[in-house]
Structure 1
Amino acid sequence: MHRLFLSCVFLCYASLASATCGADWAGFIKGIKQEAVTMGHPRSLVTRFFNGAEQDPKVIQADRRQGVFQKDFISFSHALISQHRLVHAQKNAAKYATIFDRLSRDYGIPPGVLLAFWAFETDFGVNQGNFNTLNALLTLSQDCRRPELFRPQVFAALELYARGDFDPRETKGAWAGEIGMIQMLPEDILDSGSDGDGDGRVDLQNSAEDALMSGAHMLRRLGWQADAPWLQEIELPGDLDLNLTGLDKSLPVARWQALGVTGRHGPLQPSAGQASVLLPVGHKGPAFLTYPNFNVYFEWNQSLVYVTTAAYFATLLSGAPRFDPGTPDAGLTGQDMRALQRKLVARGHDVGKIDGILGSKTRAAVQAEQERLNLPADAWPTPSLLARL
């Protein structure tokens, strides 16, 4: 899974990235080496760092092949939250209780939040990826789909190399350049890498303590509010105006209470401030209240279905019961979702890329069309809606 965090650094390099992406490989490497020297790195260091770098076509194949995000929340969560992960989450919570206690005390982040990321990203460190990290970052920087994201990561990796914390030939990880047990990009390692085991170095690939503390540090840096909720399963009153739901709208938690929204397994938490109602598969399926900490998940990963599943898994690992799946209406296939997105664009809506994925922009457009057609405005696209459009 990939955290597509847009930092100020990539904004600084956006124009340069767009100017060099798509160039032949030799020309691209020549240009990025010169840029590294211009930034102040010694030419000898730059030469050693980039020596032998190769384009990796398998990285581009992986980047284009992300159909798993077309699954709906119920299917996606069932696929990711396996019995294996539940069992090993409990084992690792006990094994690393000392570091989890420390992170709860110092950062205010419950163990379940970090355990969920650790499980989904690498199955607790077992599957960290086998892609050469530098080759992956360079390949994605040379490709013109998202160079503004990956180009700054190359220079961050160069900085790590200068510090002795990155080996351009041996460092391996995910196809998108993430490294270690919870998969952090080089910029994040520079900003949040932490020595959790006290051995004087940061080793995210072999030290669970280092990886967990670095993850906690990153979450706090991204805005996580200590000892605050992130997601809660709720029950909706039958007369709730569904136009109020959606992540693009929020109300004070006290207001949701006044409207008749209740927690399915405990009271709502008004002290958390604002919150939104999320209906992942429509008003006939599970319903969640998302608190401000939920938004931090999008700094880790941009996929709505991944974020919702990771946040839900964290509640499950923190003691909450499984969600009530309800009886949601059938959704759309990837092909039908793309057809729907094209129809929404034709009606003037911005859905982002036509990719068959039900992201936040597509959900907002669906909700607007449901309201126009006097349908339940729950942002869940169905075959009947597609036919109506």
Structure 2
Amino acid sequence: MRSPHVLSSLLLAMAALPALAADDLSACLDRLAPKARAAGIGEALFREHTQGLVSDPSVLEALDYQPEFRTPLWDYLAGLVDQQRVDDGRALLEEHADLLERIDVQYGVDPATVVAVWGVESDYGRTFGSKSLLRSLATLSCAGRRQDFFRGELFAVLKLIQSGDLSATGLTGSWAGAFGHTQFMPSTYARIAVDGDGDGRRDLVGSVPDALASTANYLKRSGWRPGQAWGHEVTLPKGFDTSVNGRTARRPLSAWRSRGLVRADGGELPADDRAAALLLPVGAEGPAFIVFRNYDAIYSYNAAESYALAIALLAQRLRGDEGLRAAWPTDDPGLSRAQRRELQQILVDLGHDIGPVDGMVGKLTREALAREQARLGLPADGRAGQKALQALRANRPSPAPAR
């Protein structure tokens, strides 16, 4: 959750963003038409799918504010690696056991990792993203930073529609253009996606086999090593020099064993001498991890340490691991999605209009929570943590008497 200072800066930055008028977007797309033709996109198809598009200012607002980089790690993981996602993932491991076994044989990526990516990216196909893909990419192609990059993505998705892999009808995704069960960017889709169900199309929106096989193919091509772990939670000896950490600061595993690192669950570190790095995502006071090449493959999916840890830790839970041994260095841990929904329901019962009770802590939820925190004499930071939930529980309205 952002601090009030960061939130204020975000609102100021949003206000400063120039709007992209409809005629400006239309003129920009007219200028892009020759480049689309040069990229192999038919002129009629380009016009059909870009004519009449209206810009979406919200995607420009989101361009510099990704939650992977701005949310405390314990909050981020509490919502992504909660019991609900673990239970759902284990059920899907059983449901798709034959498919996942075939994928493991073909690509060498274990079922739990593939399903963990699916769970983190779209909650197992429940949330593909609500943004019109073509509208988002057209807006980002004509305004904001990295316009050349997003133009490439716009052309990539149009070519996927042209090839018959995708239907443009109802095509939605994230603000940045990632879409489908495992949220591929269009250019990645074009390069990496495979036909997992044998119907002659690569459909990562409508086909679970295509999506899961494509995810495994992505990890394989990113250097995944079959049969190896992504890493292990470790315990540091007293007085350990924590300056030698970081995902890219690799050393032979023997060097880490000689420094006294041991697995937190009491198991043995691998006896070989593969390259390994020490990860201290919140410093020496929080959980520590020794990570291998497979962690880097996960990291390449979306270059954020918090994101890679979410997938790695969810995969561990899907295999039956009980979770982290060390605690996060906070006296106010984050909330699971069930707890977030409980917090939202109490806010609704208190008379706040926050929209749907969906476990997604957005602007309306934060504002309502900040008002309740102020009323209760608490720091009004709008952060949905355990302390806020406990305070609301203690002050929730009594049910109306039965008549």
TM-score range, shorter chain: 0.7 to 0.9
Letter in 2 for 1:77: L
1:163-202 to 2 correspondence within 5 Å? 163-202=163-202
Letter in 2 for 1:271: D
Partner Cα distance (2:250, 2:294) in 1 = 13
Partner of 1:48: 48
Partner Cα distance (1:318, 1:30) in 2 = 52
Partner of 1:122: 122
Deviation of 1:65 after TM superposition, in Å, equals: 4.6
Deviation of 1:270 after TM superposition, in Å, equals: 4.5
Partner of 2:256: 256
Q: What is the number of equivalent residue pairs in this alignment?
A: 311
The SS at the match of 1:306 is: helix
Partner Cα distance (2:28, 2:264) in 1 = 55
Q: Taking structure 1 as reference, are residues 316 and 256 closer, same or farther at Cα in structure 2, changes over 3 Å only? A: same
Corresponding position: 1:131 with 2:127: no
Please say if residues 285 and 328 of structure 2, whose CA atoms lie closer than 8 Å, have aligned partners that are also in contact: yes
Partner Cα distance (1:247, 1:94) in 2 = 33
Partner of 1:11: none
Partner of 2:390: none
Q: Taking structure 1 as reference, are residues 272 and 79 closer, same or farther at Cα in structure 2, changes over 3 Å only? A: farther
Deviation of 1:286 after TM superposition, in Å, equals: 1.0
Partner of 1:355: none
Unaligned runs of 5+ in 2: 1-19, 333-403
Partner of 2:312: 311
Corresponding position: 1:206 with 2:206: yes
Partner Cα distance (2:186, 2:231) in 1 = 29
Q: Taking structure 1 as reference, are residues 271 and 104 closer, same or farther at Cα in structure 2, changes over 3 Å only? A: farther
1:266-277 to 2 correspondence within 5 Å? 266-271=267-272, 273-277=274-278
Please say if residues 41 and 155 of structure 2, whose CA atoms lie closer than 8 Å, have aligned partners that are also in contact: no
Deviation of 1:64 after TM superposition, in Å, equals: 4.8
Report Cα offsets for 1:162-212 as digits up to 9, x if no partner.
Answer: 212234453222222122111111112211222222333222222211110
Letter in 1 for 2:321: A
Unaligned runs of 5+ in 1: 1-20, 332-389
Please say if residues 26 and 52 of structure 2, whose CA atoms lie closer than 8 Å, have aligned partners that are also in contact: no
Deviation of 1:316 after TM superposition, in Å, equals: 2.1
Partner Cα distance (1:327, 1:125) in 2 = 30
Please say if residues 281 and 305 of structure 2, whose CA atoms lie closer than 8 Å, have aligned partners that are also in contact: no
1:228-247 to 2 correspondence within 5 Å? 228-247=228-247
Partner Cα distance (2:208, 2:319) in 1 = 20
More RCO (CA 8 Å, sep 6+): 1
Please say if residues 236 and 287 of structure 1, whose CA atoms lie closer than 8 Å, have aligned partners that are also in contact: yes
Partner of 2:84: 84
Report Cα offsets for 1:29-83 as digits up to 9, x if no partner.
Answer: 1221111123344433333343333312232344355346423322321121122
Letter in 2 for 1:285: G
Corresponding position: 1:143 with 2:143: yes
Letter in 2 for 1:237: P
Partner Cα distance (2:65, 2:330) in 1 = 27
Letter in 2 for 1:87: D
1:1-389 to 2 correspondence within 5 Å? 24-67=24-67, 69-265=69-265, 266-271=267-272, 273-326=274-327, 328=329
* TM-score (normalizing by structure 2): 0.71
Letter in 2 for 1:81: V
Partner Cα distance (1:177, 1:294) in 2 = 24
Letter in 2 for 1:313: L
Percent identity, aligned pairs only, is 31
Please say if residues 272 and 292 of structure 1, whose CA atoms lie closer than 8 Å, have aligned partners that are also in contact: no
Partner Cα distance (2:118, 2:108) in 1 = 18
Please say if residues 181 and 204 of structure 1, whose CA atoms lie closer than 8 Å, have aligned partners that are also in contact: yes
Deviation of 1:238 after TM superposition, in Å, equals: 1.3
Partner Cα distance (2:109, 2:243) in 1 = 32
Q: Taking structure 1 as reference, are residues 49 and 225 closer, same or farther at Cα in structure 2, changes over 3 Å only? A: same
Greater shift, 60-69 or 310-319, is seen at 60-69
The SS at the match of 1:276 is: strand
Letter in 1 for 2:181: M
The SS at the match of 1:242 is: coil
Greater shift, 77-86 or 63-72, is seen at 63-72
Report Cα offsets for 1:279-326 as digits up to 9, x if no partner.
Answer: 122212211011112112232112222222222222222233311233
Please say if residues 86 and 317 of structure 2, whose CA atoms lie closer than 8 Å, have aligned partners that are also in contact: no
Partner Cα distance (1:43, 1:327) in 2 = 54
Q: Taking structure 1 as reference, are residues 264 and 67 closer, same or farther at Cα in structure 2, changes over 3 Å only? A: closer
Greater shift, 58-67 or 186-195, is seen at 58-67
Deviation of 1:220 after TM superposition, in Å, equals: 1.3
RMSD of Structure 2 on Structure 1 (CA): 2.4
Please say if residues 73 and 308 of structure 1, whose CA atoms lie closer than 8 Å, have aligned partners that are also in contact: no
